């Protein structure tokens, strides 16, 4: 599934993501000078999601859970397995691995999104990502989007 919409010179492509909810989608939004990809609610970064993320100047990418917090947290085993599955959610370690291996030079910002209220914390997600990506001269700014409040994303 790829659906392209053009609204006032802005191209929006909806693409399928690997998640167990019906109709889950990511979005690639571009104009003449900026490309933004939003990919949350995905258990793995599939070929389509990777394609759009690697083209983007700005990524909004899920980093839902910390493995240790999920294992030790309040969720029953069946729910933990659903979250970890290839149709569940991305853990910090998966997001970090993708960024370490596939971060494009044109990426200026990575916003970590859909952090679990019970199984993740901003500082843990950021530390995991920064450790994997390392320190590069041209590394992007990595931030966690806050839950339920306005963020830096409004500037893009």
CATH number at residue 92: 3.60.15.10
Structure-token pair, residue 19: 């998640």
Structure-token pair, residue 26: 């990511």
Mapped onto helix, strand or coil, the DSSP state of residue 58 is strand
Domain that holds residue 110: 2-150
- Residue closest to 56 by CA, chosen among 3, 14, 16, 104: 104
Is 155 a domain residue? no
- In this prediction the pTM is 0.89
In angstroms, the CA 80 to CA 100 distance is: 25
Is 156 a domain residue? no
Question: pLDDT tens, 46-98?
Answer: 999 999 999 999 999 999 999 999 999 999 999 999 999 999 999 999 999 99
Question: pLDDT tens, 17-48?
Answer: 999 988 899 999 999 999 999 999 999 999 99
Mapped onto helix, strand or coil, the DSSP state of residue 60 is strand
Structurally, how many domains does the chain consist of? 1
Residue-by-residue DSSP string for 29-42: EE-SS-EEEEE-S-
- The 8-class DSSP code of residue 1 comes to -
For the four alpha carbons of 15, 34, 102 and 142, in that order, the dihedral sign comes to negative
For residues 125 and 68, is the Cβ–Cβ distance under 8 A? no
């Amino acid at each position: 599934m790829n659906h392209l919409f053009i609204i006032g010179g802005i191209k929006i492509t909806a693409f399928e993501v690997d998640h167990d909810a019906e109709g889950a989608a990511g979005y690639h939004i571009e104009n003449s000078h900026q490309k933004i990809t939003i990919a949350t609610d995905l258990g793995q970064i599939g070929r389509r999601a990777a394609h759009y993320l690697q083209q983007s100047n700005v990524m909004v990418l899920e980093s839902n859970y910390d493995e240790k917090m999920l294992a030790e947290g309040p969720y029953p085993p069946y729910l933990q397995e659903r979250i970890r599955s290839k149709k569940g959610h991305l853990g910090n370690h998966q997001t970090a691995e993708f960024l370490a291996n596939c971060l494009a030079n044109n990426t200026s910002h990575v916003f970590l999104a859909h952090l679990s209220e019970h199984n993740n914390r901003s500082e843990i997600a950021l530390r995991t990502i920064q450790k994997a990506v390392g320190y590069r001269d041209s590394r992007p700014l990595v931030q966690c989007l806050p839950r339920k409040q306005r963020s830096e994303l409004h500037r893009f």
